[in-house]
Structure 1
Amino acid sequence: MATVANAVLVLLSLLLGGRLIYRYVNRPRPHSLWYGVGLILIACAALPELWFELTGQIPTALWWLYWSTASGCVAYLSVGSAYLMNARLGQVTLAVAAALTVWVVAATLLTGGTGPAVVATEAFRSAPTAAIKLPFLLQNIGGSLVILVGAIISFVRTRAAFALLIALGTFVFASGGAASGLMKVSQIFAFTQTAGILLLYAGVSLSLQPRKAPAGPPAEAAR
């Protein structure tokens, strides 16, 4: 079942991410672009786990791919949420996410080592070195906070359902690793990620729909 869930995760992330980027090309809105990038990165991070589930091995290139992209998905989803709130905030969040991406990629290439010959699924839940762990945590925790705060602010301002869906999707997606660790069932991770993506995409799709204009003052009754 974990293999099926990971396969669905890869395909769904690519499909939904590609759709959002396509919508950005036709109607440029920064938050749709960065939500799409975040979803594509989710597929990049899920691919090494799927490969491991199918073969029982993890090539070094896929090992590096996992640690270079697994935290970036939340970071770039948070860029999308930041742009929903304010263009300037989106630019600042993007700059921070890009800097952390350079950090975590460099740390992975310099200290991540080769893919281990024998690896358990749990190895994908704990950074192999301290140099990777810090930027990894900063991207995940900081990105999750930006998304949750942005969703709360958007809901307070607009009472729009998409804000709650984005917040719930982020919580489900980010809590997968903790849940699998606490319950000692590693397969939970793939299922919570898939559920989180579905909720996130539903919220993002609603956010892209045209907003209804506020009703104007009632016309004066004819005398």
Structure 2
Amino acid sequence: MMRHPRRVLLLTPDAGLVRAVSDTGLEAWALHRSGGTPSGADHGVPPERTLTDEDPARTLRELAADVGAEHGIDFVLCGGDAEPAVLDFVRGLVPPRADTGTWLPDRAELRQLLDDSPAPPTATGDDGPAPVCHVDTVSVDGMHLLLDISWPDSVAPFGAPERGGVREMVRSVLDLIGHESGGMRTSMALTADGPRPVEMTRTPFLVASLTAGTTR
């Protein structure tokens, strides 16, 4: 029997996040409080994939305890703006991190990824510092969902090839450092030799597993 795509329950859905989940081959579900605005329905999550309860934190507890296993939810994803009770519950499912949240790339570690280029990632020859774009992603089980690219105002608009190069470089760097779960902002210098990572910073997205074997 063919299994359904891995399902991600979004607690703070917006159109960009729903689209990013779908583009990565995951199935977006939504959860909202009964009597409130059905936030997921307005952003591309159909009603049949929207869970409604007067107590969303209770719904999450039931899903985590497999009471709602018929829904087959694999992951729950939320931003830092989720309601406090929900955020506290999800934090309890997410393993603690040992890192400080910011990563500066080591050129020796990234030499192969950067095509063995000796050029400093923050310079473009005699033209001074390269402009920098910022790429926001959230990773679910090692799959990197692209949320947004903020392009610098100082450069001409970028076309599909440039955007594709930035996306692939960001995903390659996330794979290289073993980033599996949660949000990340990657700053990329747009050099004449192609995009070069200069900094990575955690963003307040929490991703928790609801699959078998999860520590509850």
Please classify the TM superposition score into its range, dividing by the shorter chain length: under 0.3
Higher strand share: 2
How does the TM-score come out when normalised to structure 2?
0.27
Which of structures 1 and 2 has the larger relative contact order (alpha carbons within 8 angstroms, sep 6+)?
2
How does the TM-score come out when normalised to structure 1?
0.26
